[in-house]
Amino acid sequence: MNIVILSRNSNLYSTERLVEEGEIRGHKIEVIDPLKCDIIIEKEKPTIYYKNRYLDYVDAVIPRIGASITFYGCAVVRQFEMMNVFVVASSDAIQRSRDKLRSLQRLSKAGIGMPKTVFTNYSRDVEEVIEHVGGVPVIIKLLEGTQGLGVVLAETKNAAESVLEAFNGLEARVIVQEFIKEAKGADIRALIVDGKVVGAMKRQGKDGEFRSNLHRGGSANVIKLNEHELRLAMNASKVLKLPVCGVDMLQSARGPLLLEVNSTPGLEGIEEATGRNIAKSIITYIERNRRIKNHF
């Protein structure tokens, strides 16, 4: 198969691993920068032009699109969909997952547990917002934040008010969530491929850090998920229609609580922590689904 990885950096660990495993299995793998693609819209003949050639030979696409280029990156993915190319994550699913508020609303309706969350339109009644999530401390998150950026722990009402006023002044949309103290600065990342958990790790924030992101100095260890955690991860993947994704959750006194679903999860941390060949699982998923698509 001719498989395209949409990525702005071919040297990233995740991109390199997908190229490596694809080539091992006999496929032709090409890394393409989505921002350098021209989308040609024509009656009954949608095409993509890239570096003096038409991408009309592609069998499957693996989107590795950063949050900063979501709009154009998803437009490129959508064009491949119009060309009847198999994509690992659809453009609609990527956009749903990138909109924290929209995804939480959908997941909540589906009965998936999550921390109490409030979204308000630049409200100055901070005390009421805090009461809705059970009081301080609270977590304040930018709707557009990624990798722990734009996430603040406000331990007092004064701190929460100051942070919200600052974000309001910048006209930045935020959500306010309850702080799950018993999680102790740790979370769980479950990696989903074809709707099933293929690896899971527990990430622990460094001392004094409530965010557990690995690139912020956190550590990771393999973990075996219990039945409730497995069900939450697989259900979240199904609700957002992301057969390949990373599902982040917290362990709480009332069971696992979903934090977010990542449509382009990094592979380095979870492959190192679990020893699992996640990249191979993704390539195998493409092979299996291309066969099904060709059959019909």
Whole-number pLDDT of residue 169: 82
CATH code reported for the domain at 182-281: 3.30.470.20
- Copy the structure tokens of residue 189: 């990342």
Contact yes or no for 221/272 (Cβ under 8 A): no
Instruction: Give the three-class secondary structure for 248.
Output: strand
Please tell me the class of the 117-179 domain: alpha beta
- Give 100's Cβ-side CA count (13 Å radius): 23
CA atoms of 214 and 222, how far apart (whole Å)? 14
* 198-251 per-position pLDDT tens digit: 999 999 877 655 565 555 557 889 999 999 999 999 999 999 999 999 999 999
Compute φ and ψ for 54, nearest 5 degrees: -90, 135
Low-confidence ranges of the chain (pLDDT < 50): 295-296
CA atoms of 32 and 39, how far apart (whole Å)? 14
User: Where along the chain do its domains lie?
Assistant: 2-93, 117-179, 182-281
CA atoms of 177 and 138, how far apart (whole Å)? 6
Whole-number pLDDT of residue 296: 39
- Cis peptide upstream of residue 46 (ω within 30 degrees of 0): no
Q: Does domain 2-93 correspond to CATH entry 2.70.50.60?
A: no
